[in-house]
Amino acid sequence: MNVYTTDKIRNVVLLGHGSCGKSTLAEAMCYLAGVTSRLGSIDDGNTVSDFDKEEQKRKISISTSTIPIEWDGCKINILDTPGFFDFVGEVEEAISVADAAIIVVSGKSGIEVGTQKAWDLCEEYNIPRMIYVSDMDIDEVSYRQVVQDLVDKFGKKIAPFNLPIREDEKLIGYVNVIQEKAFRWENKEATPMDVPEYSKEYLASYRDTLMEAVAETSEDLMERYFNGETFSENEIRSALRTNVCDGSIVPVEQGSSIFCEGVYTLLDDIVKYMPSPENRKMSGINTKTNEIFEANFDFSKPKTAFVFKTIIDPFIGKYSLVKVRSGVLKTDDVLYDPNKDEEVKIGKLYILRGNKTEEIAEVHAGDLCALQKLDINTGDSLATKATPVQYAKMNISRPFTCQRYHAQNKSDIDKIAQSLAKLQAEDPTMRVVNDAENHQSLIYGMGDMHIDVIASKLLNEYKVAIDLTKPKVAFRETIRKNADVESKYKKQTGGHGQYGHVKMRFEPLGDVTKSYEFAEEVVGGAVPKNYFPAVEKGLAESVQRGPLAAYPVVGVKATLYDGSYHPVDSSEMAFKVAARQAFKDAFMKATPVLLEPIVNLKVTVPDSFTGDVMGDLNKRRGRVTGMDPIGGGKQVISADVPQMELYGYCTQLRSMTGGAGDYEYEFARYEQCPSDVQAKEVEARAAKVAADSESDD
């Protein structure tokens, strides 16, 4: 591929709901640009972007693919993103380096939740966008209705650039709103034809919208517009580019990706109307001077780049995808990583198209490329030692859905850990947590499908198998009343025996953040001081697994006030055992209870779903503590919910809200759980309690 300067580059991300046609559109673009000689399809598993085995098996996109194509003297870097919400991290990585977006809307399905989320992301990152309505080859699809729905949803900035023409229930061409001309598709060419009568009314309406937007770009044009003058095509296109780049107009185009109809026009308009990186601002911090470095994709400034994605393949190794934010990267450049405070030699530069690589000599500011086998991570900045610039990391969603995992073969434990570390380097929305307190290993993901894909990749790519199960909840045990007990440990064998005798009081401490508090009130040397540590050690061991359900104990105060000893047979071990027995007896007499973790849950949902969500939270023993409107017709519902009731909540929330709901939570406190929950948990853990008792004996 040729080397392109900044003004000839377009970085365009494809966004939209799952299965709306993003990958099919990318495939049509590749075909028209001559990258492929035949159209691949999702069903056949041979598209450029969905090359991963998991994607081919599930027939959905799972990760973002970069697909550079050449069109009309420009390089268009297409970033094809997944539409399923479990893989939102891939979308966030792609949009952080995109300069424009195409939101794909299925004409058949219309506006969906993913359409709204794509729009919201464009607003958040302030990037210009176009809307492409796919599936126009289906006769019952109403383009006018989709446009009207878009206007109702997103306002008057929606501006159709063309209309479909149908004959005998088939899509045969389009009307260009700017030129007021109609064209028929014949093979790959568009030949002129008459504008159909049924299109003239809508053509006039859509053109009025465009002309108003054109007039608003300058006072001169506004005056001419009110005087009834017409604008030249060049004036219209120049003004519309300004409108599109500043986001005041969102063009709508249409076509059929599977027949490559309308895609040629879309590619032309990407080049004509979408901004190049040189039109966008970008700044970082010079860590040497603490001054702001205005990179602004200027090729004449010192070299800087940003790592926006990592790919680790078991066969081809590690690739770091970067966007050059200033300067010109060249083969064998030495760059500095301010995150790690070390220099790296970048070696060869690659263009990545799907899973195919191509070497390139240099990459200009604003362009994307891949670096191979470097010790750098997603979110890292690269610069020169003389100008060490650090850029802010992209915002990546936090995962809240988790599953417990076990190795099917114990011999694979180390290999699983290494494989998960590689998957984690690729996917920042995945977390692996070793929960030592509850003796479990957890995988956190954006949803159940996400975690299922992780398990499948471990098996198919790294040849290790894991089982996924429901995670254990971190219950705690405590007491509600006081107890006074006496415990004597006496054992006589040949030679020295064992003798330890304690009298102890147990009471609630009133602070469940501490396991226990130990005090002694022994008078007259009934228990020598040198055995106090042994008594406390017995307590420390006892609180690790409580007598009620073998969960850690919290909030207990123990006071040693009397006892006795034997000058020969007493030992630290004997007093430790006596203390453990005392603890067990007293605990069960002092009204033991289970405490469950309560989390503070925040659910963001459209207004229309608040009733359903609150009703579901009540079923989960949740207490709603507040509702805050946040604009855009959405509410944030705050609630205190037992953590054990949140298992499977992600799937349920998406089901209730059609995917429009989001949630997050954080640990709040421990509370006593209801008697029925306690009874069930105590019964389930009876075997563990029995095993602990046997080990004590």
**pLDDT band per the 50, 70, 90 thresholds, residue 693:** low
Q: pLDDT at position 604, please?
A: 96
Per-residue model confidence as pLDDT tens digits over 530-560: 999 999 999 999 999 999 999 999 999 999 9
What is the rounded CA–CA span in Å between residue 245 and residue 263?
Answer: 20
pLDDT tens-digit map of 623-664: 999 999 998 889 999 999 999 999 999 999 999 999 999 999
The span from the CA of 346 to the CA of 348, in Å, is: 6
Q: What angle do CA 568, 573, 574 make, to 5 degrees?
A: 60
Q: Write out the H or E segment, with its range, that includes residue 500.
A: strand 498-508
The strands making up 189-193's β-sheet, listed across from edge to edge, are: 162-167, 170-176, 181-186, 189-193
Residue 133, phi then psi, degrees to nearest 5: -95, 115
Tell me what the pLDDT averaged over the chain comes to.
92
Q: Give yes or no for residue 142 having a pLDDT over 90.
A: yes
Residue 685 has φ and ψ, to the nearest 5°, of: -100, 10
Give the residues across from 171 on adjacent strands: 166
CA distances to 210, 219, 230, 514, 570 from 226, rounded to whole Å, are 14, 11, 10, 77, 106
Domains along the chain with CATH numbers: 6-279 (3.40.50.300), 283-390 (2.40.30.10), 401-469 (3.30.70.870), 476-590 (3.30.230.10), 594-677 (3.30.70.240)
Cα–Cα distance for residue pair 515/507, rounded to 1 Å = 13
pLDDT in tens, 378-421: 999 999 999 999 999 999 999 999 999 999 999 999 999 999 99
What pLDDT sits at residue 694? 64
Q: Euclidean distance between the first and final Cα of the chain, in Å?
A: 76
* DSSP per-residue codes, 359-398: EESEEETT-EEEEES-S--TT-EEB-SSS-EEPPPPP-PP
Average confidence (pLDDT) over 131-150:
94
Its sign, for the CA torsion 83, 86, 88, 90, is: negative
Nearest to 175 by CA among 258, 271, 262, 270: 262
Q: What is the pLDDT of residue 696?
A: 59
Average pLDDT over residues 496-509: 92
DSSP E strand boundaries for 238-327: 250-254, 283-286, 291-294, 304-313, 317-326
- Supply the pLDDT for residue 339: 87
Instruction: Tokens for 432, please give them.
Output: 């692996």
What is the rounded distance in angstroms from the CA atom of residue 362 to the CA atom of residue 383? Answer: 16
Q: DSSP H helical segments within 167-218, as ranges?
A: 197-215
> How far is the C-alpha of 475 from the C-alpha of 598, rounded, in Å?
10
